[in-house]
Structure 1
Amino acid sequence: MNLKNKSILITGGTGSLGKALTEFILSKQSEIKRLVIYSRDEQKQFQMAQEYPHDRYPQIRFFIGDVRDKERLTRAMKGIDYVIHAAAMKHVPIAEYNPDECIKTNIGGAQNVIDACFQTNVERVVALSTDKACAPINLYGATKLTSDKLFIAANNIKGDNPIKFSVVRYGNVMGSNGSVIPFFIKKKEEGVLPITDVEMTRFNISLQGGVSMVMHALEHAWGGELFVPKIPSYKILDVAEAIGPNCEKPVVGIRPGEKVHEEMITASDSFYTYDLGKYYAILPATHKWSLDEYVKTNNAQKVPQGFRYNSGENTEWETVDSLRALIIDHVDPNFSV
């Protein structure tokens, strides 16, 4: 995708994916006009600004703001072409304990982003989802499902505005803040790796994989799609074995709102789901474009009725050895058993 003379805003831009997107865009798209990092954490912005000094990266701007503040969002989006919405409260136990705060950020913030985009001249919007939004059993997942629905439905109320809204949904990002692998690496020093459930599985995607998916949606979305990647799963016991084979591994039980296996496509979604090759796409029930044309252009194949995609029934799995290699490549180059 050519971003020459384009301006992009990333909400939650100081988070793991926001930083990975920034690195990718500034290294691969040096002719970008402007890249706005929008977030509420001044310390993270200060630290990120040290990595991207203005004399070397004149395109980057740091904008303090909260997605709860629609007026601030609208001001930040003036002159912006593309928006990537990555801001969220994402820790499941914290959301369970502070539900109102989670709702204000993940649902209210999503609506504010949509409204601010309509009030400016934004052309394309990609919102980040999560596997926890699929058949949610915790508040975080429920708020992200609501966010997904808001962004998808925004395509129905745009009138003559050419803006396109789409969503990308994927599993745990390897090495992201709060994820299990950095947690286990740190706990390894204590000689104990707590296991929630011996049957637990998760989808796994690298930061680079997440970046590629966002850029794909930004370039190829017709408006209203929810993109899902084809990615491997891992067993939590294999992660523990890969990181600390000699550690104790007591079973401590699952946390509130946690699933044993994560889902990304349910059987109910199968009626609207198409295989695009590298990705699946859950298409909106109502859309303003031709489904036949979409299928032809994307060489899309309708999935069988009843098809579902979850981490426990996946056909592709990481092994202990592959996990160790991935940790070195994507999390800690100095890692060793």
Structure 2
Amino acid sequence: MFTDKSILITGGTGSLGKALTQYILENYPQVKRLVIFSRDEQKQYQMSLDYPPDQFPMIRFFIGDVRDKDRLIRAMKGIDFVIHAAAMKHVPIAEYNPDECIKTNVYGAQNVIDACFVTGVERVVALSTDKACAPINLYGATKLTSDKLFIAANNIKGENPIRFSVVRYGNVMGSNGSVIPFFLSRKESGVLPITDPQMTRFNISLQGGVEMVIHALQHAWGGELFVPKIPSYRIMDVAEAIGPECEKPYVGIRPGEKIHEEMITSSDSYFTYDLGKYYTILPATHKWKLDDFINEFGAVKVKEGFQYNSGENTEWETVDSMRKLIQEHVDSSFHI
């Protein structure tokens, strides 16, 4: 699919952006151009050291901010596929700096959409988060708004063949700012602070996140919001897996945090279909026929009232499985 195609990744120097870059280059070496678009020059410099131009002539590093539509338009010249991963994502920082979060996550999303229309991009996948489902914090609210913007963009494209879709998943194991690297960094101190002992989270590996983005690029008809079927973990099990000998004081949840994360609410169930490996929430209006979609993907409508949250999940990680996953996906030197 990517042979002789050009791809741009906003937020390309982040954890998922780097994982996507590695995956694309390993599996689609005939890609024409891969543009890493981000605003952090230091991260771009560090990433460029892993991809010297004599060995990876298809890679371009493009400094820019999604708040700057003109810069996005310039970066997207000749681009076929866009993966939108840029965002402000730290919940407490967003709560304290709401206007900055809105500028990046909402206005930035609209800038990406506008730039894609102007430059003739074929397909767009935007990254969402479980916090966008029934949001209680500003970060989640901005990402829900972003989701709505990308999905609604399919309604205004006219005869333009462009397709916009969204992927929503839980915490990416080992990503910057997530709990596992935090616990690993605090292990030697002998204290792992626990926000709430009942807290649960969805868990997905970087590889799983990458595969989901690629799936959406390859299979989306336009307007779908994809949700993976992934396990949950209990925060106490993560702490026990990393530091069984550590003290685990309860410090209370942070502003804007949930005890359990949600990815599909009961209200979403009326538009949700089971695709096997993924669920998809379909838009209320779409350009294609629902029966054709169902036949193409073997889609099965979920029951009315169905909901998908980390506290009521049917699949769970254990202390032992978390230790194995940490060694495999986060820190190969980790051991108990």
What secondary structure is seen at the aligned counterpart in 1 of 2:9? strand
Structure 1: gaps of 5 or more residues: none
Is 1:288 aligned to 2:294, yes or no? no
- 2:255 match: 256
For these two proteins, the number of residue pairs brought into alignment is 336
* TM-score normalised according to structure 1 size: 1.00
- AA of the residue aligned to 1:76: A
Residues 275-310 of structure 1 show CA distances to partners (whole Å, capped at 9, x for unaligned) of 000000000000010000000100000000000000
Distance in 1, matches of 2:101 and 2:17, equals 20
Matching residue of 2:200: 201
**Residue number in structure 2 paired with 1:63:** 62
| Aligned counterpart, 1:102 | 101
Code of the residue aligned with 2:150 in structure 1: it is F
Give 2:171's aligned residue: 172
State the Cα distance separating 1:121 from its structure 2 match. 1.2
Q: Which residue of 1 aligns with 2:233?
A: 234
Q: Provide the rounded CA distance (Å) in 2 between the counterparts of 1:35 and 1:121.
A: 16
Secondary structure at the residue paired with 2:226? strand
Partner SS for 2:210? helix
Q: Residue 313 of structure 1 aligns to which amino acid in structure 2?
A: E
Gaps of 5+ in 2: none
SS of the residue 1:274 aligns to: strand
- For residues 121 and 162 of structure 1, the distance between their equivalents in structure 2, rounded to whole angstroms, comes to 9
**What SS does the aligned partner of 1:30 have?**
coil
The residue type equivalent to 2:253 in the other structure is I
Amino acid in the other structure paired with 2:73: T
Deviation at 1:189, TM superposition (A): 1.1
Aligned to 2:147: 148
> TM-score when scaled to structure 2?
1.00
Q: How does 1:31-46 map to 2 (within 5 A)?
A: 31-46=30-45
Distance 2:302 2:60 in 1: 43
Which residue of the partner structure matches residue 159 of structure 1? Answer: 158
Provide, for residues 59-90 of structure 1, a one-character-per-residue CA deviation record: whole Å limited to 9, x for no partner. 10000000000000000000000000000000
Partner of 1:215: 214
Distance 1:9 1:96 in 2: 29
What amino acid is aligned across from residue 116 of structure 1 in structure 2? Answer: A
User: Does the alignment pair 1:93 with 2:92?
Assistant: yes
Counterpart code for 1:117: C
Paired amino acid for 2:254: R
Amino acid at match of 2:284: A
Q: Which runs of 4+ in 1 moved over 4 A?
A: none
- Residue in 2 that maps onto 1:13: 12
Distance in 2, matches of 1:123 and 1:189, equals 49
Question: What residue number does 1:116 align with?
Answer: 115
**Are 1:323 and 2:322 an aligned pair?**
yes
Aligned Cα root-mean-square deviation (Å): 0.3
Please tell me whether residue 139 in structure 1 is matched to residue 138 in structure 2: yes
Shift of residue 233, structure 1, vs aligned partner: 0.1
Compute the displacement of 1:240 (Å).
0.1
Give the 3-state SS of the residue equivalent to 1:332 in structure 2. Answer: coil
Question: Where does residue 128 of structure 1 map in the other structure?
Answer: 127
Aligned-pair distance for 1:37?
0.1
